[in-house]
Amino acid sequence: MVFIAPAQPQDAPAIAAVHVAAWRAAYAGIVPQVVLDSLSEVQRTAQWRRILAAEAGWTLVARDGGRGGPVVGFVQGGALRDGDAGPGDGEVGGLYLRPDRRGRGLGRALMAAAVKRLAADGMARLFVWVLADNRPARAFYAHLGGVPDRTQHDTIGGKRLREVRYRWDGLPRL
């Protein structure tokens, strides 16, 4: 049983651990290895403390085994931050799982919780950015009905990477 709820400040170290492990697994061979090797749970914990203390957006955590279980994934979202955002445009800014939890429906459960939160916040459309070379993530969002609508480039660790934005006109029913 997985329990999904809003993240609390004390969740920052657990979120950071998931974040680092997920990046290392998902972006191996995509993001320069030196970047993945330099990821620090201590630094990410400080970053997550700042994020969770801020009032912009929201973060939901998935706990294994119920309310008091360990954090095994998280999703972050809010209003779309892109320059072409309109009223009612929401985004999932990040969805990460512990690598040993992939392929078990946890990502879909987190997306469903995010969609429910976006609907409660008055959002009518959903957007998410994904690295173009992250084929499993692209397949996941396409399977959920997302349609590529825009690309851009970002530089991570000196490497230029293409990102693809997926769009749902109307919030998906998950």
Task: Please report, for the chain, the start and end positions of each structural domain, with discontinuous segments joined by +.
Answer: 2-126
Mean pLDDT of 123-135: 97
Q: Enter the pTM of the model.
A: 0.95
Mean pLDDT of 106-127: 97
For residue 135, the model assigns a pLDDT of 97
- CATH T-level assignment (fold) for domain 2-126: Aminopeptidase (3.40.630)
pLDDT digits 0-9 by tens, 16-54: 999 999 999 999 999 999 999 999 999 999 999 999 998
Q: Tell whether the model's pLDDT for residue 55 goes beyond 80.
A: no
For residue 147, the model assigns a pLDDT of 97
Buried b (16+ CB within 10 A) or exposed e, 117-132: bbeeeebebbbbbbbb
